[in-house]
Amino acid sequence: MAYNLKEIIATKPSRFTAGHRMCAGCGAPIVGRTVLRALKNDDHAVVSCATGCMEVSTFIYPYTSWTDSFIHTAFECAAANTAGVEAAYKSLKKQGKLPQDQHTKFITFGGDGGTYDIGLQSLSGAMERGHDMVYVCYDNGAYMNTGIQRSSATPRFADTTTSPAGNVIPGKMQSRKDLTQVMAGHHLPYVAQSIAINNFKDLYEKSEKAIYTEGPTFLNVFTPCPRGWGYPTDMLMEINKLAVETCYWPLYEIIDGKYHINYTPANKKPIEEFLKPQRRFKHMFKPGNEWMIEEFQKEVDRRWQELLDLEEITNRDTTENN
């Protein structure tokens, strides 16, 4: 069936409900709602969530925004928790202690702090062991819940509380880790990048593929943070759009090792259009700091070209056979 947002909203209940305490202009609740809406109505989900913005703002005892089974766990073990529940579910079904026609899906949510950094070991282990589960990273580019400290997902030159832009250093000095490529290196059946808003079709369809592809799958979702990035709350959609149009955050998926770019800008925008609305990059526009924008642009261009090359290389055999 072709994607139709109005029809989906009308026929599928929201499994991530109102009443959470997420900030205005935050992309994370949109990620949670869209991913869970991709579930079939009759399917049950077990959600494991690492400590972070999404957890502390949606599960304040005795209140919850999650309608499915929910596990709050620590930064370092969200993927391990989901893997354990998935293994227990398979065992109970095998023992006849659960109905054979019961369908449960296992989904983990974690921010970049609990995914790129602290939780990387349990994520890698769960993916390598082949658990039938989805890991969703809502990537807001820093440890936002604990004070906007830099993470390995923080882009180069960004101003954070632990990489302050000043006279000594111009913000974070290291390049952003490419976790989507790290997950691709695990040879998973499905890996994808998407955005929180501005393209519901992309995130919904990728969520559906990830949930209903057998085995371990991974989604990395660009998730702007108004407090940490310093943009007006009403710019959430525009920030997402600029990330895609500048190729800072390409939309693509990897299906059984083959790369597929889902969107190529007709007129690729310069990176300063993405950087300028964000307070964390304001020092880059001071006189004498033009080199930072140039370096940032070079890195974006290099990564975009690498992605184009990977798409061509991994699909070469298919093209030649046709």
**pLDDT of amino acid 264:** 97
Position 317 pLDDT exceeds 80 = no
pLDDT in tens, 190-210: 999 999 987 899 999 999 999
- Which range, 6-15, 175-184, 196-205, has the best average confidence (pLDDT)? 175-184
Average pLDDT over every residue of 17-32: 91
pLDDT digits (tens, 9 = 90+) for 209-227: 999 999 999 999 999 999 9
pLDDT digit string (tens) for 269-281? Answer: 999 999 999 999 9
The third-level CATH classification (topology) of the domain covering 5-321 is Rossmann fold (3.40.50)
pLDDT given at position 18 = 85
pLDDT of residue 322 exceeding 70, the answer is no
What span, in angstroms and rounded, lies between the C-alpha atoms of 172 and 41? 44
What would the pLDDT profile of 76-98 be if each residue is shown by its tens digit? 999 999 999 999 999 999 999 99
Residue 102, pLDDT > 90, answer: no
